[in-house]
Amino acid sequence: MNAKDKLEKFVLDHREAFDEDRPSFKVWADIEKQIKSKKVKNRNIWIWSLAASFLLITGIALGILFYPRIYEYQQLHALSQSEEFNGMQVYFDGKSRHYSPN
């Protein structure tokens, strides 16, 4: 007979003793405290998850709103620099034509 069968036989033979005993109020109070602490932890997880989701969505929305403007600014800045470069090139090309090393 293995240990599991012995345990089952013992429980069946002493069934009344198991049914009569009840846990003390302290045990029930500890169980209740553990259940409440788990509920608080679960609520904290939900609050942090909602906050993280809100920040992520806000960040994506701001990126969608401002990225085209930043890109447009970069393009205009590059264009103005190329216009300045073209103006300098024309200026110095004209100077070099009139320059004589004498």
pLDDT per position as a tens digit, 2-34: 777 888 888 888 877 776 667 778 888 888 888
Give the structural domain span for 23: 3-97
Q: How many domains does the chain have?
A: 1
70 occurs within a structural domain: yes
Residue 102 lies in a domain: no
Instruction: Tell me, yes or no, whether 30 lies in a domain.
Output: yes
- pLDDT band of residue 102 (cuts 50, 70, 90) is low
Q: What are phi and psi of 36, to 5 degrees?
A: -65, -40
Residue 50 DSSP class = H
| Prediction pTM value | 0.37
Give the list of residues 6+ apart from residue 18 with CB closer than 8 angstroms, or none. 11
Integer Cα distance of 41 and 29 in angstroms = 18
Please report whether residue 33 resides in a domain.
yes
- pLDDT of 70-81, one tens digit each? 777 777 777 777
For residues 75 and 67, the answer to whether their CB atoms sit within 8 Å is no
